[in-house]
Amino acid sequence: MLIEVICKECGKAFMADSREINRGHAQFCSISCAIKYRNKTNPYHKHICVQCGKEFESKSTKVKYCCKSCKYKYYRSLMKSELNGTKKLQDILKELPCENCGWNIGPRDVHHIIPVSEGGKNEFDNLITLCPNCHRLAHRNLLSKDKLIALVNLRTISSSYDIAA
């Protein structure tokens, strides 16, 4: 059953399902009105930029960087972890076949088992080479982290890339 409701942000009337009203969800006529209302009511939080150390304020509690420039500088510094001063670790991994299905005809992706956003590092034990199909499966959690860790643990000296080369 539809009932007419007034938007908390813009004051426009809109029709909402009575079940949504009972759940307390039918308060805004659109997503943009909900976001505008939330932005007005949320408090600011103080943060320190991971890259430059500058203090800044944001309404988000999870923000780490004061600007996009600092974010990109930080990620570029993480990607520059070189092995033996010659090849980047990710370049070495891209030469391996997909560690799940063995596919090696086209390009492969390097996947972080524990994402960088959750504290994962660009280390050999946290990176795995996957074909595009297996990479999508990993991001949809159809290849579990436990399975990916087991695949990394299966690497042997004879089957993995010769790091010393």
DSSP letter string, 49-117: -TTT--EEEES-SS---SSHHHHHHHHHHHHT-EETTTEEHHHHHHTSPPTTT---SS--EEEESS-GG
- Residue 5, pLDDT score: 94
pTM for the complete prediction? 0.45
Judgement on whether residues 106 and 126 belong to the same structural domain of the protein: yes
Residue 159 lies in a domain: no
Cβ(78)–Cβ(50) below 8 Å: no
Domain assignment of residue 143, yes or no:
yes
Q: Give the chain's domain count.
A: 3
Tokens read off for 108: 């492969």
pLDDT surpassing 90 at residue 7: yes
Same domain, 91 and 148: yes
Contacts of 156 (CB under 8 A, 6+ apart): none
pLDDT at 93 over 80: no
- What's the domain range around 6? 2-41
pLDDT tens, position by position, 41-84: 888 889 999 889 999 998 888 888 899 888 888 877 765 554 44
Q: What is the mean pLDDT of residues 96-118?
A: 87
Tokens in use for 47?
A: 């943060």
Same domain? For 33 and 53 the reply is no
Please tell me whether residues 145 and 128 are part of one structural domain.
yes
